[in-house]
Structure 1
Amino acid sequence: MDIVLAMRVFSRVVETKSFTRAAETLDMPRARVTVTIQSLEAHLKTRLLQRTTRSLNLTPDGAAYYERCVRVLADIDDIESSFLGKERAPRGKLRVDMPGALGRLIVMPALGDFHEHYPEIDLVLGLGDKPLDLVQEGIDCVVRIGTLQDSTLVARRVGVYQGVTVASPGYLEKAGTPRTLAELANHRAVNYYWGRTGRIMPFTFETEGKVVEMKMRGSIAVNDAEAHLGSALHDLGIVQGARFMALPYLESGALVEILSQWKPPPLPISAVYPHNRHLSATVRAFIDWISELFRDSPLLSSTPEAEARCRPASIDAQDAEVIDLAGDEAEPIA
């Protein structure tokens, strides 16, 4: 029996809490995963897992063995990297997840460059904003906007998200152009809600060194960034979204920036990975590459001015003055 392989299989079963998901993330037949665990238990002469039709749990011996496996496998990876890092390019399957608009508009067009630099990495890219259990779902790295809240994860800053407040000329012609934040009370927004909580994301503005959150009135709310921006193009109301998405429409005149003297505070864009999983050469290569990609993009790069303004909290954090212009309309979607 290959004891190192068995330790990797066992660790992945524990992390994903499933023989089937472990097999998928390891690109192994499920039957082979089952046989490997049975052989490992026979070799150690102890039961590591308690298996029923509905649950999979560690025995006390299994928990102790898993903790040692994590340390041993990390040491093995470190040893291999120190000797092979210069001679062998990163290789293997890499599972990454990121927001859909960021992936489609910025990352996907540049993937040819990534493949040219790392031809032996098989990238599996998921696009979405839904909350994910990285360990259980076998995801190596996610790119997220906002400050890390989960202490079991590690975040590395790779860029800065810049927001913009926009509306269409058609909407402004009918409703007028707000000149102050107070005048937003006379306007309607197309709101964005977070799928993970169902709560409406307030509009945020920087004013006199403070962050002000405004809960806008609106009869429409969506949870897709591109549909959100598209609603502004169809004269449905004011939208606050990503500047990198809105720029082509601002340049063409299809959208107009409003209240530009009160910009949304920048937010960090981070590459996030589990702290108990060794940072492999493939993950490190991807993070280095995407950091450079964002650094070369003026709308995503981190500048001293943006760093000074970058809001030290997640999008959902309650660290700002809140002005409710919506009343009952600010209740959760779900």
Structure 2
Amino acid sequence: MNFGSDNQAGVSPAILQTLVQAASGIQSAYGNDDWCARAEQMLCEAFDTPLKAFFVATGTAANCLALSTIAQPWNAVVCHDMAHIAVDENSAPEWFTGGARLLPLATDSGKLLAGDLERFLASYPASPPHNMLPSAVSISQVSENGLVYQPHEVAALAASAHAKGLRLHMDGARLANAVAALGCHPADITCKAGVDVLSLGASKNGALMAEAVVFFDQALAEHFRIRQKRAGQLVSKSRLIGAQYCAWLQDGHWLQLARHANASARSLADALVATRAVRLAWPAEANEVFAILPRALHVQLLSHGVRCSDWYDTSIPRGTALAADEMVVRFVASWSSTSDEVQALADLVRSLA
């Protein structure tokens, strides 16, 4: 019963088969191959817009390289206080940007919305050269609390950011899950909503190791290959990443995988709450379940081989009280989660509770 992370799931057979195909023969190196060219074209078709795409090996590299194009060393990037770039990427954002500082904001909604940004900027000291100049906003879709930004929320945030001369970056490590949850066109929550640059992750959703930096504002992509090279992310056999994107996008495979993960998480959330020993910290809108449960129950689950992650107490909504014997736990469903796993965990929680 592994609900530790979608990072821990294996590789979709369709993607693995395409990898085997791409591994044979000879192709140009450093992204100048047919697979990467086809992958970029398929991304243009998926988002229904011209774009520039660059393929890298890790999500941290994708996020931080993207930020380096919209934040100079003397700039600042506004983000949610639970954002992956603020909590889980060490000092990589500062290192890749040459020193740009993250300005994390705590919010009541669990998201970073237009009103939050406007209130912050209205109170932010603006007396250069003494203060950093905010140049960018970064949001995660799906958010780090498992919440999905609606198209109008992204559009409003982008409008507020652009009005102040700020660019909008989206960490799309779970973008497929968001698109599947909303049932919208991928463009509705990205380029059409005003996102300037997107980190599009496939590794959490069926790929082996595949991340992309996607520029909807193509002018930002100037000299990006040089940034890749300096960061050690200009992969010689990039075709093996491009091929994964080709298989991932083919016939909507990425959304099929995401729908399955989302459905598994919803089933898990319903089953856990039904035991009455567990309550949800946030609605399970995509493929993550943030649950509040007794600490003793968590220990018992671990002893029975359940994989899940204890989570930050500060991540729950303001006003949600934790008893002394309670804790927050994150369960993540993946493309390979099974109904048997979900049922087994529900049965175990019921028996232990």
Q: TM-score, normalised by structure 1?
A: 0.27
Structure showing greater Rg: 1
Structure number with the bigger relative contact order (C-alpha 8 A, sep ≥ 6) is: 2
Q: TM-score, normalised by structure 2?
A: 0.26
